[in-house]
Structure formats: structure tokens, C-alpha cells
């Protein structure tokens, strides 16, 4: 049986071989007589699973020893509170600055306002002209040279891939060059972590919910510089205090054990695919093929400024909204699932994370062409 191609933004498709392996090990993990779900999180079997997952994650992202790699719960939205509770008190001003690049960064900003002195460093909420083209709000990245980072701020927050708008930071900025050498970067990388190599040493903290590009919902990955730990606000729950989670090897309380196991299988799969350099080459080719086709057509359109188009989430609109329902129905019948765009943007969105093969992109383009022919 051939499975359909699943373009969900999240929870998203997983590699088929990972699902097959998990199915084969469901009742009895490697002769233990137990499903992974039935194991003590402190026992030797799960310790092996968890330690290997952490080691593979560290290898994939080249995470150095002075950074902790934590398995937590709460998802991206909980991190919007957990990051300020842990890091806003790093410096006396208890301040943090935010680059508003789309709905996820805006959510992070609004949540953090409950914990300290929070300001906007830059925003893409206004329409603007870039290279002679009028860009709608939230379809571009504010030029880093214009960001206002307060030198007394504990951290600057960015969302490095806006899952809804389809806007991706090609690179992370250097805060010393923005006049804030003692401020660290906080990065929400939920929807593009592991899609390409990333230099985590340029950030104080990088977090990501697992359900886009790693594994099942319920697991959150946090990579944080160890010398920033231990300054959590008194109101921070101990289960969310990075220092406590790190001291206890992500097992202070019961972690999402099955989600960690699946993530571990995905990490091994990524290593077989040539690691993150291999994924970047594939993801770049996938995104280029899809954007090239969209740009060549007058039936479909992607509104994002070309230099910051996401390689993971590709929103596109049809020239006539009245065709949206027919597009989705016929796509479904053709084995192309979950293409509906987010309600705030409309139209369609193809999320093409690591688990989407090039054949899925080719099938989508072929379907889009034939839909254009029959409805154009």
C-alpha cells in the first residue's frame, strides 16, 4: 500500500521507515518484553533510549558541551513563558526585545510581557516596498540593520521560521553588531529545526516543539547555554526550570517517553540521510522546485519576499478563492493531504518538512498543473 503525501503544518508527516520500526517494536522493545510506553523512565531500557537520542541530537546539530540539550513538555507556546521565566532575570533590567515577523513571534512577545520589561525591536506588521515590490504585512523580514536592541536586555527573541506566513530567517543576526554584545538570542525554531545545519552557539537558547520536524506532539527540545542557567524567576515552576531539568538529565519529572523514543528513531533516520547537510540539499531542491513552478504560473501566487521564503512552509493562493474548496477536494482524492492554508492567510499551504520526499513535491506540482488546466 502506498501512503498519500501529507502536507500538514503540524503535527506533520513522519518518515515511513520510522513508523514501520515503531510498529514492529510496539509490543516488545528489543527483547525487553515491554512496549516503550510501559517502561520506567528511570530504568535501564529507557535510559538507553533517552541517552542515545540526546547523543544523536548533539551529533546532528554539533551541540557543544557547554550547551544543555533538554527534552521538555509544554510545546512552543509554553516556551513563550518558560524562556522569560528562566532568562529575563539574567540582567538587572529584566528586559527582553522581540522581532515581530509573524503570528508566532507576536504570540511570544505577548506572553513574555507578563514577566518583565518587554519591547519590540522591529516589526513586519506594516506593508513596505522592497526592491521595488510592494510587500504585504508579515510577508518579509525587517532588515536586521534597523533592529533596535536595548543593550541592557537579557535576550532578543526571534522566530526563525514563521510557520503560518512562510517566512524564514536565512541567518541569525550577530547582536554585538547591533550594539548589544551582552544580550543573548532566544530562537523559536519549532518549524525548521533539523532542516539544515544551524550554529546553536550563536544563540543563548533555541527551542522547538517536536510535532513539525522531529516527532510526536508532547515533546519540546530546548538547547540552552549552561552558563545562563540558575537565574530563573522565583515564580518559575521547578519542572520548567532549565537548571533543574538539566541537572536531572531531562528526567526530573516523567518526560514524554514515547515521543522521545520516536524522536530518537527520527535522529537515526536523519543520520542515514547524510545528516543536516544532506537534509539541507534535499530541502533546498524541494523548495526551489515548488517556488519555481508557482512563480512560473499566473494561476498560483506566493506573496513572500523571495530572499526570506521558507523552505519548510510554502503558502500559496489561487487566483480565484472560489476554487479553494474544489482544489482541496481534488487534491485529497489525488492522495495529497492537508493542503488547506491557515485561516489568517487563506489559500493553501504546503508544509514540506524533512519527511516529505522529492516525489511528493513532484506529485503536488503535477496536480497543480492539471488543476490549472481544468479550472484555468
Ligand X SMILES: *Cc1c(COP(=O)(O)O)cnc(C)c1O
Using the rule CB under 6 A, is 168 a contact of ligand X?
no
Closer residue to ligand X (CB): 190 or 283 = 190
**Residue 284 annotated as part of some ligand binding site:** no
Using the rule CB under 6 A, is 215 a contact of ligand X?
no
Using the rule CB under 6 A, is 190 a contact of ligand X?
yes
Q: What is the 3-state secondary structure (H, E, C) of the chain?
A: CCCCEECCCCCCCCCHHHHHHHHHCCCCCCCCCCCHHHCCCCCHHHHHHHHHHHHHHHHHHCCCCCEEEEEECCHHHHHHHHHHHHHHHHCCCCEEEEEECCHHHHHHHHHHCCCCEEEEEEECCCCEEECCEEECCCCCCCCHHHCCCCCCCCEEEEECEECCCCEECCCCCCCHHHCCCCCEEEEECCCCCCCCCCCHHHCCEEEEECCCCCCCCCCEEEEEEHHHCCCCCCCCCHHHCHHHHHHCCCCCCCCCHHHHHHHHHHHHHHHHCCHHHHHHHHHHHHHHHHHHHHHHCCCEECCCCHHHECCCEEEEEECCHHHHHHHHHHHHHCCEECCECCCCCCCEEEECCCCCCHHHHHHHHHHHHHHHHHHC
In angstroms, give the least distance from the CB of 273 to ligand X: 22
Catalytic residue among 29, 104, 147, 172: 104
Question: In this structure, what C-alpha cell is assigned to residue 355?
Answer: 519527511
Using the rule CB under 6 A, is 188 a contact of ligand X?
yes
- CB neighbour list of residue 25: distance below 8 Å, 6 or more residues apart: 35, 36
In angstroms, give the least distance from the CB of 207 to ligand X: 9
Span 86-105, contacts to ligand X by CB under 6 A: 104
Q: Is 126 left (phi over 0), alpha (psi -120 to 50) or beta?
A: beta
Closer residue to ligand X (CB): 76 or 341 = 76
**Residue 211 annotated as part of some ligand binding site:** yes
> Annotated catalytic, 241?
no
- CB neighbour list of residue 138: distance below 8 Å, 6 or more residues apart: 101, 102, 103, 124, 125, 162, 165, 167
Using the rule CB under 6 A, is 10 a contact of ligand X?
yes
- What whole-number distance in Å separates Cα of residue 303 and Cα of residue 162? 14
In angstroms, give the least distance from the CB of 206 to ligand X: 12
Using the rule CB under 6 A, is 328 a contact of ligand X?
no
Half-sphere exposure (CA, 13 Å, Cβ side) for 183? 29
**Residue 196 annotated as part of some ligand binding site:** no
Among 101, 153, 163, 354, binds ligand X (CB under 6 A): 163
In angstroms, give the least distance from the CB of 212 to ligand X: 6
Closer residue to ligand X (CB): 183 or 191 = 191
**Residue 126 annotated as part of some ligand binding site:** no
Q: How many residues bind ligand X (CB under 6 A)?
A: 12
Among 34, 63, 77, 244, binds ligand X (CB under 6 A): 77
Among 22, 118, 159, 229, binds ligand X (CB under 6 A): 159
In angstroms, give the least distance from the CB of 372 to ligand X: 29
Using the rule CB under 6 A, is 186 a contact of ligand X?
no
Using the rule CB under 6 A, is 191 a contact of ligand X?
yes
> Annotated catalytic, 212?
yes
> Annotated catalytic, 104?
yes
Stretch that binds ligand X, among 75-83, 136-144, 236-244, 325-333 (CB under 6 A): 75-83
Using the rule CB under 6 A, is 39 a contact of ligand X?
no
- Could you give the maximum distance between any two Cα atoms of the chain, in Å? 65
In angstroms, give the least distance from the CB of 124 to ligand X: 15
**Residue 172 annotated as part of some ligand binding site:** no
Binding mask 103-142 for ligand X (x = CB under 6 A): -x--------------------------------------
Binding residues: 42, 104, 163, 188, 211, 253-254
Binding residues for L-glutamate: 42
Q: Which residues are catalytic?
A: 104, 188, 212
Residue numbers of the site for ligand X (CB under 6 A)?
10, 75-77, 104, 159, 163, 188, 190-191, 209, 212
Amino acid at each position: 500500500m502506498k501512503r498519500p503525501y501529507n502536507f500538514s503544518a503540524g503535527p506533520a508527516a513522519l518518515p515511513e521507515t520510522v513508523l514501520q520500526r515503531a510498529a514492529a517494536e510496539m509490543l516488545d522493545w528489543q527483547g525487553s518484553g515491554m512496549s516503550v510506553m510501559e517502561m520506567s523512565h528511570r530504568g535501564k531500557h529507557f535510559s538507553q533510549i533517552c541517552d542515545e537520542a540526546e547523543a544523536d541530537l548533539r551529533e546532528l546539530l554539533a551541540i557543544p558541551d557547554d550547551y544543555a540539550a533538554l527534552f521538555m513538555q509544554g510545546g512552543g507556546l509554553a516556551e513563550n513563558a518558560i524562556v522569560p521565566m528562566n532568562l529575563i532575570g539574567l540582567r538587572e533590567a529584566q528586559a527582553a526585545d522581540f522581532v515581530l515577523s509573524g503570528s508566532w513571534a507576536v504570540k511570544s512577545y505577548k506572553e513574555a510581557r507578563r514577566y518583565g520589561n518587554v519591547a519590540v525591536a522591529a516589526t513586519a506588521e506594516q506593508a513596505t516596498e522592497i526592491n521595488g515590490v510592494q510587500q504585504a504585512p508579515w510577508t518579509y523580514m525587517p532588515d536586521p540593520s534597523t533592529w533596535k536592541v536595548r543593550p541592557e536586555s537579557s535576550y532578543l527573541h526571534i522566530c526563525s521560521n514563521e510557520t503560518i506566513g512562510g517566512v524564514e530567517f536565512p541567518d541569525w543576526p550577530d547582536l554585538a553588531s547591533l550594539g548589544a554584545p551582552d544580550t543573548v538570542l532566544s530562537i523559536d525554531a519549532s518549524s525548521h529545526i533539523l532542516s539544515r545545519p544551524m550554529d546553536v552557539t550563536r544563540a543563548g537558547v533555541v527551542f522547538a516543539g517536536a510535532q513539525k520536524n522531529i516527532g510526536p506532539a508532547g515533546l519540546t527540545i530546548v538547547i540552552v547555554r549552561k552558563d545562563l542557567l540558575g537565574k530563573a524567576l522565583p515564580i518559575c515552576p521547578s519542572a520548567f526550570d532549565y537548571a533543574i531539568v538539566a541537572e536531572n538529565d531531562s528526567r526530573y519529572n516523567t518526560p514524554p517517553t514515547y515521543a522521545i523514543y520516536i524522536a530518537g528513531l527520527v535522529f537515526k533516520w536523519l543520520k542515514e540521510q547524510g545528516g543536516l547537510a544532506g537534509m539541507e540539499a534535499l530541502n533546498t531542491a524541494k523548495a526551489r522546485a515548488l517556488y519555481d513552478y508557482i512563480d512560473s504560473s499566473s494561476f498560483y501566487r506566493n506573496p513572500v519576499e523571495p530572499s526570506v521564503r521558507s523552505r519548510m512552509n510554502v503558502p500559496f493562493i489561487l487566483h480565484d478563492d472560489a476554487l479553494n474548496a474544489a482544489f482541496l477536494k481534488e487534491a485529497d482524492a489525488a492522495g495529497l493531504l492537508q493542503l488547506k492554508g491557515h485561516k489568517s492567510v487563506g489559500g493553501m499551504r504546503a508544509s514540506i518538512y524533512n519527511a516529505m520526499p522529492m516525489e511528493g513535491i513532484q506529485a503536488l506540482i503535477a496536480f497543480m498543473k492539471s488543476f490549472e488546466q481544468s479550472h484555468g
